[in-house]
Amino acid sequence: MVSVAIGMIACSCWPVVGWAKDVSVGDAAITLVAQPGYCSMSRERQPDVRAWQLVETTLKGRNRLLDLLADCKELSDWRTGQRQLLDHLVQYQVALKLEGHAFPNATPAVRSVCAATRKFGKQRLQDIFADVRERMAQASSTIRVGEHKILGVLDETPTACFVGLLQSIKTELGKSKQQAVVYATLVVRERLIFFYRFAPYASPDVPAAMLRALKVDVNALLKANE
């Protein structure tokens, strides 16, 4: 994920918070919803188009970006040149190779994702969150620009697997930035969806707040697609 820094002239006709829109994933129609305080970024107007292009370049050949959102206040200031970078972002993604694959039973798919993540990170099953908090503090002190470190599974429910990671990126301004990421893998209308939240890293406690917000988001997404 690349943070973006492009200033353009303001436009009065941007998408607003509170929308819901349909996207196609394989042959499934999925309704995406906006998070409180977040606004969708336009695919047709600058500087939003540039942000879409940057993210899609990082995902090329692996995932398809279904939607890109940013904190409404940050986005408004960024569009008018009063802000250089967007710090708080939300993304919906789908794996290209799985777009046409149906998952009629969500729980086994979610369980498999969590199990694979724990195995990759050699994560303990007990004291999961304390373990992740410790990993966050350690990762922040050792991570180098261009790296990302998986912190492990933050939580697992029958409908979603929640994972945290820390990445160190170089912004378009040439400055390094540590970014906390929490994402959910979930099944929506039998399609596997990745749902990301991005925020600046401030302390090892950041994932807890992001996880709480993402759980609310996931519940809203599932409800919109009942």
pLDDT of residue 136: 65
Helix (H, G, I), strand (E, B) or coil at 165: strand
Q: In terms of pLDDT, which residue wins out, 173 or 23?
A: 23
CA atoms of 161 and 50, how far apart (whole Å): 31
pLDDT of residue 125: 45
- The region of weakest confidence among 67-81, 91-105, 175-189 is 175-189
pLDDT level of residue 19 (50, 70, 90 thresholds): low
pTM of structure: 0.85
Q: What is the mean pLDDT of residues 78-102?
A: 95
Decide if domain 20-208 falls under CATH 3.40.1000. yes
**Is the CB of residue 9 less than 8 Å from the CB of residue 3?**
no
At 142-177, the pLDDT tens digits run: 776 666 778 888 999 999 999 998 887 666 666 777
Using CB atoms within 10 Å of the CB of residue 64, give its burial: 0 to 12 exposed, 13 to 18 middle, 19+ buried: middle
Residue 48 above 90 pLDDT? yes
Residue 129 above 60 pLDDT? no
Q: In terms of pLDDT, which residue wins out, 136 or 104?
A: 104
CA atoms within 13 A on the CB side of 130: 4
pLDDT level of residue 3 (50, 70, 90 thresholds): very low
**Is the CB of residue 39 less than 8 Å from the CB of residue 15?**
yes
In the chain, what are the domain boundaries?
20-208
Structure tokens at 89: 């972002």
